[in-house]
Amino acid sequence: MMSAHPLDNPLLEINNLRIAFRSGRRATVDAVKGVSFQVPRNATVALVGESGSGKSVSSLAVMGLLPADSAIIDPVSRILFDGRDLLALSAAERRALCGKEIAMIFQEPMSSLNPVFTVGAQIAEVLRLHMGMSAAQARRRTLELLDEVGIPDPETRIDAYPSQMSGGQQQRVMIAMAIACEPRLLIADEPTTALDVTIQKQILELIARLQKRHAMAVLFITHDLGLVSEIADHVIVMRHGEVREAGPARAVLDQPQDGYTKALLHCRPSLDARPWHLPVIADYLAGVEPQRYAGGDIAEGQGVTPLHPLERQRGSGPDDEPLLVVSNLSKSFYQREGWFGRREFQAVKDVSFTLARGKTLGVVGESGSGKTTVGLTLLRLHQASGGSALFDGRDLLAMSAREFQAYKRRIQIIFQNPYASLNPRFTVGQILMEPMRIHRIGAGERERVALAHQLLEKVGLPASAFQRYPHEFSGGQRQRIAIARCLAMKPEILVCDESVSALDVSVQAQVLNLLQDLQDEFGLSYIFISHDLSVVKYIADQVMVMHQGAVVEMADSDQLYRDPRHPYTRALLAAIPRHG
């Protein structure tokens, strides 16, 4: 699908780009299948699409950075930059453009900076190469650049190594490096996914500001449509190596034409509504458009998943039955220091909360605020430094290992990264049956096999999955396997640690729906950890906000979002990108 409005004199024009990768001796895999789009001068174009849709590959092709030994660019492809066909240039000519006319910012700032050179040296390198500056000139210019991207105290930070900077600062350095030669085109490949929401917001503002100031064109790659509305003039939506929809940002966001675009816009839980069930991409792609209803999405079940017509009600009530009472939970880590000393690092400080039966407690906070540590400590995967956790009146943290063994059945955790939490050398069957064996669930092997199949069915996986290995499943399916493993023990409390953060929006919706269904069916209690406030708002009854190991605010979710008390909570909420 081509852009509806061909531009007169675009800065970058991609025509019928086809890229395949070698796999095996003769086989090839098509990654990009005839993509065409344009980037006008001095404008921001967002390239959106789910993981693996070919966004990065396309942009790398522009830079000429595709792996030479495995990537094949079809000869019919054209990449015109300011009228010159990049694919026809020699390597040296290409290099002369890169970094000077076209610059790129990558997703992972930490790994994208060379760890053994100072940031100053890395920025100066571009200046000296392309601008022919002397060392002193380059240093002066570098200082200006660092200042421009908002690095505090550039005079000293210029000699810092990447590892001595925070993630946000590293990304700023990357940006400084990219704009050093005032390129005409800046490609930003998911520049904020590795960053916290608060920092993400700053970086986006920075890019927008620089774009204006330096009159650059920006090709902004992301999988999050939410971001797009804030920065982009034009939007291109990709899926499976093809362009699904392209056009001015307003138009695409307000009146999406393509089913897939619509899905991307609506699968994400919004802060404003809480549908009974989230829509999933399949709903849209099947060609059936769920109706928009009261800001949320509902659809009449016409052959697709029936969506409940009502919004859910969340919140705690006086008649909630407390299941887990945690008081003054703390956890410290120790680091060696000096001769004999050790430095204490308090990852969790005096955390207290109550989890009611059948309810969900959301835990939010930026990276490193101690969310995961709380979960692991409750399961005694870390040893608590203090505090108590009364489960049915018994202190989980004070039991002997033997006593706790019985409780392992009743409190379970789904880990942040589903793939990492499944033993890659076990089949799904082995994974599901192992806890049953340990806890003597089911009378015999045969019964356990039957139970395992029931579980697979419950989480929506085919029976054939039983024989297969985790690596043969997609991210969302793996998350379901992890959930099924927990369900095998029929726990009362389930800690979900960032269970959906690593997933594409569409898959995220499926998993959230599943968790919700299970709670409805079995009355599970969840401790739901996430840094994504929209998701937490959608699923949690109560929300606990953590900052540097301590709880800064705790309230019913609607209340919290409506009326945040703590300044930190307000900052978090303000950083959420909104559209519409």
Partner 1 sequence: MTAVVHAGSPGLWLLAWRRLRADRVAMVSLAVVSAFLLMLVLSASGLIVADWEAEVGVSYAPPGFVGATPASSETAVPAAPAQALPENPFDPLADDIRALRAQLAPAAAGAVEMYGVADPLADDMAQLRGATATAGAGSLATAAGSGAATHAGAARRPTLPFGGDKWGHDVIKKTIKGGETSIVVGLVAALLAVSLGTLFGALSGYWGGVVDDCFNWFYSIFTAIPSVLMILAVAAVLQQKGVLTIVLILGLTGWTGPYRLIRAEYIKHKSREYVLAADAIGVSHWSKMFTHIFPNVSHVALVQMSILVVGFIKAEVILSFLGFGVPVGVVSWGSMLNEAQNELILGRWWQLSAAAIAMALLVTAFSLFTDALRDALDPKVK
Partner 2 sequence: MLAYIVRRLWQMLPTMLGVVLLVFVLFNWVGGDPAYILAGKMANAESIANIRHQLGVDQSYPVQLWIFIKQIASFDFGLSWATGEPVSHIIATRLGPSMTVLLPLTLLETLLGIALALAVAFVRGSLTDRAVMIACTVGMSVSILVYIIVFQYGLAYQLGWFPVQGWGESFWENLLRYATLPILIGLAVSIAPTLRLYRSFVLDEVGQDYVRTARAKGLSERRVMWVHVLRNAAIPIITHVMANLPALLIGAFLLERFFGIPGIGREVILAVERSDFPVIKAITVYVAAATMVFNLLTDLMYQAVDPRVQLT
Shortest reach from residue 335's CB to Mg ion, in Å: 19
CA distances from 285 to 262, 279, 427 (A): 9, 11, 32
Residue 267: contacted member of Mg ion, partner 1, partner 2, none (CB under 5 to 8 Å, by partner type): none
Nearest to 186 by CA among 43, 19, 38, 7: 43
Tell me whether residue 243 or residue 413 sits nearer to partner 1 (CB atom).
413
Residue 115: contacted member of ligand ATP, partner 2, partner 1, none (CB under 5 to 8 Å, by partner type): partner 2
Does the protein bind partner 1 through residue 408 (CB under 8 A)? yes
CA-based angle 464:286:21, to the nearest 5? 65
Taking CB under 8 A as the rule, which mask of x and - marks residues 319-358 in contact with partner 2?
Answer: -----------------xxxx-------------------
Tell me whether residue 417 or residue 548 sits nearer to partner 1 (CB atom).
417
Tell me whether residue 53 or residue 569 sits nearer to Mg ion (CB atom).
53
Does the protein bind partner 1 through residue 451 (CB under 8 A)? no
Sign of CA dihedral 370, 372, 375, 376: negative
- Token representation of residue 268: 């994400």
Helix boundaries (H) for 16-117: 55-63, 91-97, 109-112
Taking CB under 5 A as the rule, which mask of x and - marks residues 317-356 in contact with Mg ion?
Answer: ----------------------------------------
d(CA 471, CA 452): 19
Does the protein bind partner 2 through residue 182 (CB under 8 A)? no
Shortest reach from residue 487's CB to Mg ion, in Å: 22
CA distances from 7 to 2, 3, 36, 38 (A): 12, 9, 12, 7
d(CA 281, CA 262): 9
- The DSSP bridge pattern shows strands 360-364 and 542-547 to be parallel
Does the protein bind Mg ion through residue 112 (CB under 5 A)? no
Q: Which listed residue (48, 63, 236, 493) binds partner 2 by CB under 8 A?
A: 63
Write out the binding residues for Mg ion, residues 11-70 only, by CB under 5 A: 56
Does the protein bind partner 1 through residue 405 (CB under 8 A)? yes
Does the protein bind Mg ion through residue 372 (CB under 5 A)? yes
- Stretch (H or E) spanning 248: strand 242-248
d(CA 569, CA 573): 6
C-beta separation of 86 from 17 below 8 A: no
- Contact residues for ligand ATP, defined by CB under 6 A: 21, 31, 49, 51-57, 67, 70, 223, 333, 345, 347, 365, 367-373, 531
Does the protein bind partner 2 through residue 115 (CB under 8 A)? yes
d(CA 324, CA 320): 12
Q: What residues line the site for partner 1 (CB under 8 A)?
A: 24-25, 376, 379, 381, 405, 408-409, 412-413, 415-417, 420-427, 434-435, 438-439, 468-469, 471-472, 482, 485, 489
Q: What residues line the site for Mg ion (CB under 5 A)?
A: 56, 372
